[in-house]
């Protein structure tokens, strides 16, 4: 995948760069980020340098992790991260991926993550041909669910004991978003995108 840049009214979304390491390290000192995500704890400068300088660029090259740094357009400040993970079914008939994100503590409550997530969702559906996006979070992560709900996701249920964290199995909330959930979504040409027909149960 060739790295891309997305813009919204307030935000610039671009692939992470090595120069982002200090901002990522500072953000991940917030205990809520390792508590609810898969980032290491404690989160070291070396972790940040590896993520921004190696893991993220390799993810774009290999289509395994398409992560964006979310920056304010006016001040160029890092306010979070959003991206697509679990991409092993992106090029299969399932055409599926998972949306993930985190927000810098000082910038929560401003709608930045929902704004960034909406941009990535539309890019995934329109340009990557994704036909089902999943959202997952440890049960009880109400902040993550609030973003997913505003983005249009439908919460489908709870996966019992699906997550192992610190030697303990934990429940996971799961939700989905389909292109048909966004009725104004068109292909870049303005023509309706060609997608696998969907036959909901009972119809």
Query: Is 80 exceeded by the pLDDT of residue 203?
Result: no
CA distance 56 to 158: 29
Q: What is the mean pLDDT of residues 157-164?
A: 97
3-state secondary structure of 101: strand
* Burial zone of 149 (CB within 10 Å; 0-12 exposed, 13-18 middle, 19+ buried): middle
Q: What are phi and psi of 39, to 5 degrees?
A: -70, 150
Dihedral (CA of 1, 115, 194, 153) sign = positive
State the first-to-last Cα distance of the chain, in angstroms, to the nearest integer: 37
Angle between helices 142-151 and 112-127 (to 10 degrees): 50
What is the C-alpha separation between 112 and 107, in angstroms, rounded? 8
* DSSP letter, residue 55: I
What is the Cα–Cα distance from 19 to 80, expressed in whole angstroms? 15
User: Between β-strands 96-103 and 132-138, what pairing exists: parallel, antiparallel or unpaired?
Assistant: parallel
Phi, psi of 24 (to 5 degrees): -65, -45
Mean pLDDT of 134-155: 97
Residue 190 has pLDDT above 70, yes or no: no
Which pLDDT score is estimated for 194? 76
* Sign (positive or negative) of CA dihedral 84, 82, 39, 66: positive
Residue 173 DSSP SS3: strand
Region 188-199 average pLDDT: 68
Q: Is the pLDDT of residue 164 over 60?
A: yes
Half-sphere exposure of 104 (CA within 13 A, CB side): 18
């Amino acid at each position: 995948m060739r790295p891309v840049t997305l813009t919204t009214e307030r935000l610039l979304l671009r692939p992470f760069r090595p120069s982002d390491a200090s901002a990522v390290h500072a953000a991940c000192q917030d205990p809520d980020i390792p508590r609810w995500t898969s980032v290491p704890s404690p989160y070291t400068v070396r972790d940040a340098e590896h993520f921004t300088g190696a893991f993220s660029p390799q993810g774009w090259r290999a289509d395994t992790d398409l992560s964006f740094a979310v920056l304010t357009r006016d001040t160029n400040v890092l306010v979070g991260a959003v991206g697509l993970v679990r991409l092993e079914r992106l090029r299969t008939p399932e055409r599926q991926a998972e949306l993930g994100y985190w927000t810098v503590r000082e910038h929560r409550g401003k709608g930045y993550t929902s704004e960034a997530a909406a941009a990535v969702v539309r890019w995934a559906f329109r340009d990557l041909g994704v036909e089902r996006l999943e959202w997952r979070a440890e049960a009880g992560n109400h902040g993550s669910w609030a973003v997913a709900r505003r983005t249009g996701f439908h919460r489908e249920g709870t996966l019992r004991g699906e997550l192992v964290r610190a030697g303990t199995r934990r429940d996971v909330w799961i939700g989905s978003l389909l292109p048909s959930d966004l009725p104004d979504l068109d292909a870049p040409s303005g023509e309706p995108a060609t997608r696998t027909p969907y036959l909901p149960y009972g119809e």
